Amino acid sequence: MSSLEGRGRPPTAQQFVLGELRRAITTGRLRPGAPIRQDALAEELGVSRVPLREALKTLQGEGLVGYRAHRGYLVEELSLDDLREVYRIRKILEAEAVHQAVSQLTDEDLTALEKAQQDVERAGAAGDVLDMAAANRTFHMALYECARMPRLNRLIGSLWDATDAYRSIYYGHGVNRERVIGEHRAVLEALHARDADRAVRILDEHRAHAVTALEELTYPET
């Protein structure tokens, strides 16, 4: 997990470990169901077990890792029903966020969204799964934050956290990266037109494509 070259180390050991665990999960180094071997990980990161345990507790609270008796910590797996439920709840909450956001979008907001989209496209062209996942989240959250509803944003963020382990599976395929870019561009067109209903419809399709792809890639027996 030697990914810190060229990046500043966070101010605390716990934040450092938390960031590295998120990175390992988002990039697919630690995949759903994978065990988290604390001794080896602590040695690799050059930290004690204390900040590692605290970081794992944080991720457990978010539903990203789980603890099993006689097995220890592992990257949490979602059942197909769980995955569908997460995306269904996101659909409801994000529609409200978009409607509220569009009603008060500023030119500065649109400029920020365009910049976030440029980052998505740059990472997609490079095939950088981690950077594209991060840029994609920045794009979406920048839109939802325009709703000026912080509690709603926190709820949406927690739902995104629950599926972080599946980002690398989705973005690992070029066709999915290209689809995301096209759908984001369509959302931006709708936002420039201040057409909330069209933006919501496109985002509904955006999520549906992700669910369908993950069903096929992660649960092929279904």
pLDDT tens per residue, range 158-185: 999 888 888 888 888 999 999 999 999 9
Mean pLDDT estimate for the chain: 90
Largest CA distance in the chain: 56
Type of residue found at 42: A
pLDDT of residue 217: 84
Do 114 and 171 have their domain in common?
yes
For residue 4, what pLDDT is reported? 43
User: Is-contact 137 92, C-beta < 8 A?
Assistant: no
For residues 90 and 180, membership in a common domain is answered with yes
* Helix (H), strand (E) counts: the chain: 10, 2
Q: How many whole angstroms from its chain centre is CA 105?
A: 24
Q: What is the pLDDT of residue 98?
A: 98
Q: Is the pLDDT of residue 2 over 70?
A: no
Q: What is the pLDDT of residue 141?
A: 97
Position 110 scores a pLDDT of 97
Q: Are 205 and 91 in contact (CB under 8 A)?
A: no
Q: How far apart are the C-alpha atoms of 157 and 147, rounded to whole Å? A: 14
Is there a single domain that holds both residue 26 and residue 42?
yes
**Closest of 119, 155, 153, 156 to residue 139, by C-alpha:** 119
- Mark which of 52, 75, 98 sits at the end of a domain: 75
Q: What is the mean predicted confidence (pLDDT) over 90-107?
A: 97
Q: Using N-to-C axis directions, what is the helix angle for 174-192 and 107-126, rounded to 10°?
A: 170
- Domain limits for position 121: 80-218
E strands, the chain, in order: 65-68, 72-75
Digit-coded pLDDT (tens) for 69-83? 888 999 988 889 999
Looking at the domain assignment, is residue 7 inside a domain?
no
Q: Are residues 51 and 127 in the same domain?
A: no
Report which of residues 195 and 134 the model is more confident about: 195
